[in-house]
Amino acid sequence: MTAVQQQPSLPPLGAVYRTRAGVELKEFFRQRESVVFSLALPVILLVVFGAVLDYDIGLGIPFTQYFLPGILAAGILGVSLQNMAISIATERSDGTLKHLAGTPMPRSAYFVGKVVQVLATTVAILVILLLVGRVFYGVGLPSGTDWLTFAWVALLGAAACTLLGIAVSSLARTGRSASAMITPIALVLQFISGVFFQFSQIPTWMQTVASVFPLKWMAQGFRSVYLPDALAADEPAGSWELGRVAIVLGLWCVAGLVLCVLTFRWQDRGTD
């Protein structure tokens, strides 16, 4: 009984992906709040904390050299987890997502656009922080195989936090409430995960809490790049535990992906 109409063709996938990537980059870089919040804040923190907390953490290493890997991890957390949670919650509550769901845009294109946005902003924040660390505080760039470690920690951390951010976006009703929910959590994680303070100085129970979440492992992975191996003795396990860093971040990727698939909604709750 169904009269099948002549179905129109669809544009090539690659073209739509390019469109969405462009849309997401413009949406991010034109919004002052997101640029200040995600890109400028970590730089300000690096400059201010670097200037204030300029003490020797042992072996003649200044705190800045400990702080830089931490703020790199926090910077990635900001452009991935915080940015995704807030921007997607906003787009869900203001009708952007519902509008897109009513078009023939392949749904994968939306996520491709978000991934491109996170990759671009991750590269941006890392480059800026590396340069500021180098120029203002003389923290050298990684060398040799350290670049490899740097790259996989950044990539795996960004992936885990992006997926987690997309999943968390479904918990909030609006972008504002997403911000109110995720900002304090991120701040607390930064305090207990070895970003602003040395992880070894944090109470054990807080270390245990921090060990559940990705930030602690990202910061630890980056420290292995910036600190001499002798300082690995200060870590809870007495080593950099790069294998465990990879496993925990990988598990968060899997958990985040499952949560995304289970919870992602294209419209507000209760409007289907």
Partner 1 sequence: MSSPTAVPTASAAPRPDLPLDPEAAISVRGLVRRYGSSTAVDGLDLDIHRGEIFALLGPNGAGKTTTVEICEGFRRRDAGEVRVLGQDPATGGRRWKAQLGIVLQSGAGDSQLTCRELVRSQASYYSDPRDPDEVLELVGLTEKAGVRGRALSGGQRRRLDVALGIVGRPTLLFLDEPTTGFDPEARRQFWSLIRSLRDLGTTMLLTTHYLDEAEALADRVGVIARGRLVEVAVPSALGGRGSAPAVVSWTEDGVRRTHDTHAPTALVAELAARFGGEVPDLAVARPTLEDVYLRMIGQPTPEERTA
User: According to the binding rule CB under 8 A, does residue 54 interact with partner 1?
Assistant: no
Phi-psi region of 106 (alpha: psi -120 to 50; beta: other; left: phi over 0): beta
Minimum distance, C-beta of residue 120 to partner 1, in the bound complex (Å): 15
Q: How many residues bind partner 1 (CB under 8 A)?
A: 37
Q: How far apart are CA 65 and CA 225, in angstroms?
A: 10
- Residue nearer to partner 1 on the CB measure, 58 or 95: 95
x/- letters, 124..163, toward partner 1 (CB under 8 A): ----------------------------------------
User: According to the binding rule CB under 8 A, does residue 10 interact with partner 1?
Assistant: yes
Orientation of helix 175-192 relative to helix 214-226, angle to 10°: 50
Minimum distance, C-beta of residue 170 to partner 1, in the bound complex (Å): 17
Region binding partner 1 by CB under 8 A among candidate stretches 26-34, 150-158, 192-200, 221-229:
26-34
Q: Which tokens go with 223?
A: 């420290």
User: According to the binding rule CB under 8 A, does residue 179 interact with partner 1?
Assistant: no
CB count within 10 Å of CB 254 equals: 11
Among residue numbers 217 through 256, which ones bind partner 1 (CB under 8 A)? none
For residue 78, the 8-state DSSP code is I
Region binding partner 1 by CB under 8 A among candidate stretches 5-13, 39-47, 127-135, 193-201:
5-13
- Could you write out the three-class secondary structure of 11-37? CCHHHHHHHHHHHHHHHHHCCHHHHHH
Q: How far apart are CA 168 and CA 172, in angstroms?
A: 7
Which residue of 40, 51, 95, 237 would you call a contact of partner 1, by CB under 8 A? 95
Q: How far apart are CA 216 and CA 3, in angstroms?
A: 58
- Which residues would be at the binding site for partner 1 (CB under 8 A)? 1-5, 7-11, 15-16, 19-20, 22-23, 26-27, 30-31, 90-91, 94-99, 101-106, 267, 271-272
